[in-house]
Amino acid sequence: MLVGCNTANPDNQSELNSAGVNEYLKVHFLDVGQGASQLIIGPSGHTMLIDAGNNDQESVVVDYLKGQGISRIDILVGTHPDADHVGGLDAVIDNFEIGKIYMPKVQSNTRTFEDVLLSIQRKGLKVATAKAGLLLDWESDVKVAMVAPVAENDDTNEMSAVIHITYGATSFLLTGDAESGSEQEMINSNAALKSDVLMVGHHGSNSSTTDAFVEAVQPSYAVIQVGQENNYGHPKAAVLERLNDNGIQVYRNDEQGDIVFTSNGTDITVTHSKQDVVNKDEKKNSPKQFSTLPATPEPSAAPEQQEDTVVYKNCREVRAAGKAPLHKGDPGYSTKLDGDRDGVACE
């Protein structure tokens, strides 16, 4: 079970409104070890699965989906052919009714990728090309835009399908293994990238999450899909420092387990499955197991400028000035620097 829920009436999350639909969008980041998989459930119950971890995690993904009461995946996306992303897709295709499948125009000669194609063939399904500029027909109240790959590339990571999801005033950016080249192409394309929640590219590798990309996305939350004690040293210290310096609250599958973001179109609530393990930022404010983020600042919070007009661009500047941490009311404090909105910035 997931722990921690910060809503006025949490039980309402499982209730349907008078129109017979749930008012919540849920984005699940499955704990599949050193791999990636995201399940999105829309307000009216439509489903989308992006990647399914490695081969040895396929039963984890299948069981998780069944545990959510899912029998059909309306949209299935394989971001790119790497085994740690598509390894479990064949099991998903074999065990569930599948609507539409999207994959980028890039191939791999691995047995893992071949198994996926064979499962698609056995069910008589077709694959649509994942590329920038597509608007996916999914839920009437949710905009699902594919913002990458922008151009063809021989590197499978740089061909990762990247999806931007908007529900009301809240938004999510799911990046696969997109690296710095694809990130810059997305920026140059002028696609809508700003998001409340960023899935950090390539498991927190130094190849992704550039300063320019973080600036373009301006997330309040970041999720790193990464396995415990992995052989790659993911996530890299430089990436974690970059996120921290920008006041971004970080969640990791190796530390929080399954992570679920629930949006009502205005606020986002975060829950996770590992009750006794929290990330470093949360430990400083223990025993917090959740955060709720207004997607847009409350009117009363807008004039937070201090009389002495002290302004810090990021937490790096705060620390350089010897002012960390900043408390609400201190010169230079702003909600941009306070990612978890607890009144203490740059802890």
Q: 166 Cβ partners below 8 Å, 6+ apart? A: 142, 143, 145, 192
Residue 320 to residue 322: CA distance in whole angstroms: 5
Between the alpha carbon of residue 3 and those of residues 102, 125, 192, 225, 278, the distances in Å are: 33, 38, 32, 19, 11
Contact 142, 42 (CB under 8 A): yes
Please give the pLDDT value at position 346.
Answer: 66
Beta pairing class for 72-77 and 135-139: unpaired
CB atoms within 10 A of CB 230: 15
Is there a contact between 314 and 332 (Cβ–Cβ < 8 Å)?
no
- Max distance between CA atoms of the chain, in angstroms, equals 68
Q: Write out the E strands in 110-152.
A: 127-129, 135-139, 142-148
Give the pLDDT score at 279.
41
Strands 162-167 and 221-224, by their bridges, are unpaired
State how far the Cα of 293 lies from the Cα of 220, in Å rounded to an integer: 8
Q: Specify the pLDDT at position 341.
A: 63
Beta sheet of 221-224, edge-to-edge order: 135-139, 142-148, 162-167, 170-174, 197-199, 221-224, 249-252
Hey, what's the torsion of the CAs at 217, 223, 227, 228, to 10 degrees? 120
Which residues does 109 contact at the CB level (< 8 Å), separation at least 6? Answer: none
Q: What is the pLDDT of residue 347?
A: 67
Helices (H), the chain: 58-67, 83-86, 89-95, 111-122, 180-188, 211-217, 237-245, 253-256, 280-283, 315-320
- Burial string for 11-48 (b: 16+ CB within 10 Å, else e) reads eebeeeeeeebbbbbbbbbbbbbbbbbbbbbbbbebbb
Can you give the pLDDT at residue 90?
98
Q: How far is CA 45 from the centre of its chain?
A: 19
How many whole angstroms separate alpha carbon 336 and alpha carbon 81?
Answer: 36
Tokens representing 102 are: 């999207």
Q: pLDDT tens for the chain, 347 residues: list them.
A: 333 334 333 333 444 443 344 689 999 999 999 999 999 999 999 999 999 999 999 999 999 999 999 999 999 999 999 999 999 999 999 999 999 999 999 999 999 999 999 999 999 999 999 999 999 999 999 999 999 999 999 999 999 999 999 999 999 999 999 999 999 999 999 999 999 999 999 999 999 999 999 999 999 999 999 999 999 999 999 999 999 999 999 999 999 999 999 999 999 999 999 864 444 444 333 333 344 554 444 443 433 333 346 777 776 676 667 677 777 777 887 776 766 566 667 66
CB burial of 258-277 (b: ≥16 within 10 Å; e: otherwise) equals bbbbbbbbebbbbbbbbeee
112 phi, psi to nearest 5 deg: -60, -50
Residue 112's region, left for phi above 0, alpha for psi from -120 to 50, else beta, is alpha
